[in-house]
Chain A
Amino acid sequence: MQEGRVLPAKEINRDLLRSILTTPNWYWVTVAIMAIIVLGAMSAAGLMINKGMGLTGLNRPVMWGFFIVNFVFWIGISHAGVMLSAILRLSKAEWRRPATRAAEVLTVFSLMTAVMMPLIHTGRPWRLVYWVYTLPFVPYDFARGIWPNIRSPLVWDPSAIFTYLTSSILFVMVALIPDMAVLRDRTTGIRHQAYALMAMGWQGTPRQWKLQIISGILLSALILPVFVSVHSIVSWDFGMAVAVKSWHSTIFAPYFVVGAVHSGVSAVVFVMILLRWIYGWENYIRHEHIDALGRLLIVVATGWFYFFVMEVIFGFYGREADEIAVREFQFTQPPWNLWFIFFTGLTYFLPVSLWLFKWTRRNLWIMSIACISVNIGMWLERFLIIVPGLAQKQMFTFTWYTYAPSAVEITIIGGTFAMVTLLMLLFSKVLPLIPLYDIKEGDMLKTEIKIGRATVPAVFRED
């Protein structure tokens, strides 16, 4: 059922540009707090780089800890943009309209955050140059004939992530052009010039609209394989390693992709609820949108749970002593068993039971709790995949070890969350987080028809 009234274009412009053209008091306070947290995290990272990796909790055999968990987590969040924007655009889901921009922007910022994690994890980020290139002016590797191993998933990773980042930025930029023109016409001075530059001469002619729509559809279709490949390749960082029991699983690629969509879409729902609350966008982010996203999340969560069950069952299926030892460690040894219970409860059972009913899907508090729950659970999932497997990597029990994060790691991880929040806030100050033209188009397509004695909401369709 379509809810809400059709708003005049003037009112849409006024409401959705309010975050850009006016600045509430809380805005700069929040920006300052987030900036301080980010600076704290940067200081922690600087200290770690200066003093060495000994400041982290990483030690043999667990050499991948919070940084890599966080890397996988943010890559997962970045999958919301394409899921909501590209797939729902191609499937012409009307309720997608207010969610697309926030999802696309969240994709870009979470990807930017994700790529920092492996760099920090290396401890010597300047050595990235050896990792990716072997250039004549980098003497060490060139002299010894050491070349990047292109057959390593660790080299596939940056290729996929940077392709995804580039295409996501392009995706956002193309969708932003008509809104840039609206802003160009409502600003003066340097802001006017900046918007005019980014609007690229947009006048809203039929030809420009046609090209913009076609490019949007083409980019949606082209970005889908990139979207799938990114988290698949991240999963193969683990799946290709036969030495770590519980990692070498054929299902890891789709399992990671579905998990990423699950956490990403949940994050977008939470962001939308926040936007509705802080900017008063009740007319744009309506209960029907959150309801529809809740129903979508039931499907995504159940798909994810199916892959999870397959992964666990086939972990035991082989009845290989090494792997069963790791699984028992995950499922029966404290505190891992408690983490495991939390993880399954927070990722699937709690949120899905909350999404099952219409009244809960339309209660924004409950939806917020469910979506935060999913993301805590998904973060734990990555932790439970990475650490227990590595802790028991070696053959002999005396070489087994566990892992506890240090204050430096926790500070850096906290800083990444503050950084994404900060970037979203800064974006909302310069560009609209709900696409104006998309909302206007949706309103234009709305109509009503009479069925018997009832008047029923309806939409115009092209097929």
Chain B
Amino acid sequence: MAANSHPESHYGAEMWVFPVASQVTREVSERTSAMPMAFGIGLGVSGLLLGLGIIGFVIRAMSDGFGAHGPWGYYAAIFSFIFMVTGAAPLAASIFRVTKSHWRRPLTRVSELFSLIGIFNILLFIPLMFVLPAFRNPNLTPLAENELDLRRTIWFEVPIGATAPQWLDLLGIACLALCALVILWLSAVPDMAQARLQATGFRRSFYGVLAGHWHGTKSQWLNQKAGLALLGAFYFMLLVFMQFTISSDYAQSLIPGWKDSIFPVIYTLTGFQSSLGLMLVILFVLRRWGGYKNYIGISLFWSASKILLGLTLLWVYHMFAFGITYWYGRLEVEQNILKYLLFQSYGWLFLANLIFSFFLPFLTLLWNPVRRSDWGPALAGVFVLIGAFLFSWRIFVGAFNAGDVYNIGLEHVPAFVGPDLWDVLIVLGGLGGAVFIYLLGSRLIPMMCVWEIKEGAMYQHMGTFMRGRYLVLAKPE
């Protein structure tokens, strides 16, 4: 356990608790408006990468156009990675709030700030709308045995027009981003109301607008909490649905004969796993170098790492369920898909994916002392993030280069497709853009949810049990 070092502490040295309420507002406000050099460098580098990415995108569009989907595989992969990770991230705050996990309090705002990247997801998605092949086979040979007149999609044969799914996907991603932003705003209102009293200039008017008429009345608090719970539930359902549509429209339906009901679940799980991993990395950085050591205790890493371990095991279990069912069936089309995505063409990538998404985080998080540290869960977080990136690469680049989408099944095993320079720039640009937006957002909205930390400070106390001093946690609801 991290020592609680604030001067008014009457707690045991080994017991981590939040600082007293009077300190919180001042400290968090100071850190939000500060601009350390390391932060400036991070902002500059990510901005530069974003610029390079835009160059890569323009050159890709000029050289290949939007007529064929093959050249856009790496673009789809980086979109998938950013969407998967940042889309699932705001959910952590909602879920742990609903389950009333006390340790969540320093994590919630870190999680909700990912809502800002929702806008970036919309922008990234728009080009992908134009590369998806048409539903109806334009080159259908009459009486051909291995060709489909309509390619397989989750939209079946509903008469909604050839491009409707793309628009529905866009609408879903936009609704998701909007919902996440409303959750962020609703969660931040009490903090903004507090901050508007102390800030000056632009910040004062910005916080004033966001805070609206918040005065902290009982009905306002009740409405805010009910709103957060309801929106969180809606966001969860919409996110799972969008992960299903994106994973099906932009991956599964592009590989002929790939009929795999567990794939959307694996995609969703990879998203949950990697977003929790990313939050642990950010919390580690904030604790070590961001000046939030008193706020982010080891118990957060200890509790979150158990969930990360659970998600890691669930991920490998679902992968195994997929692999064994296909392997055991011995159907030619399924064997070819296994060879393509798991054993031959993308075999080395799958092996790396398995190592980073399962073996390394599992072997790291298996040990109690490692889970009780701040570095251990953060290290596992880095592993699962790399694993999620490799997963997107393997699946989406594979799907975009699997050949004739109107074929009834995968008749041969297509080759691996590596990135060219523009693909590399696009991937770096995507990552840079997401980091850039998050860093900018963290300067406007506090990284710690001040009202939740204060609430947590009120709910906890130290008490004597037998001969030891332990944390006493209120259960008011």
Contact = CB atoms under 8 A, between A and B. Distances in A.
Contacts of B477: 1
A447 B299 CA distance: 21
B475 A457 contact: yes
Given A239-B325, A248-B329, A451-B458, A2 B475 contact: yes
Interface stretch (A193-201, A314-322, A419-427): A314-322
Contacts of B102: 461
Contacts of B263: 250
Contacts of B265: 251, 254, 306-307, 310
Contacts of A459: 472-473, 475
B325 A232 contact: no
Contacts of A249: 261, 325
A246 to B, nearest CB: 11
B476 interface: yes
A444 B474 CA distance: 15
B318 interface: yes
A232 B331 CA distance: 21
Contact of A311 (B148, B153, B261, B463): B261
Interface in A300-333: 306-307, 310-311, 313-319
A8 B475 CA distance: 22
Contacts of A458: 461, 472-475
B471 interface: yes
A6 to B, nearest CB: 14
A186 to B, nearest CB: 26
B473 A310 contact: no
Nearest to A446: B475
- Size category of the binding interface on chain A: 35 or more
B156 A316 contact: yes
A118 B160 CA distance: 48
A242 B330 CA distance: 9
Given A1-B477, A250-B325, A451-B458, A319 B264 contact: no
Interface in A1-34: 1-2
B39 to A, nearest CB: 31
A447 B472 contact: yes
Interface string A240-260: 101000001111111000000
Contacts of B461: 449, 458
B343 to A, nearest CB: 16
Given A249-B261, A250-B260, A463-B299, A451 B321 contact: no
Nearest to B264: A310
Contacts of B326: 250
26 contacts: A1-B476, A250-B262, A250-B321, A250-B326, A251-B261, A251-B321, A310-B262, A314-B259, A314-B260, A314-B261, A317-B152, A317-B153, A317-B259, A317-B261, A444-B465, A445-B465, A449-B472, A449-B474, A451-B458, A456-B474, A459-B472, A459-B473, A460-B465, A460-B470, A460-B471, A463-B302
Given A240-B329, A250-B262, 6 more contacts: A310-B244, A311-B261, A319-B148, A454-B476, A458-B475, A461-B102
Q: Which 5 residue pairs of A and B lie closest in terms of their CB atoms, listed nearest first?
A: A314-B261, A251-B261, A253-B321, A250-B262, A318-B259
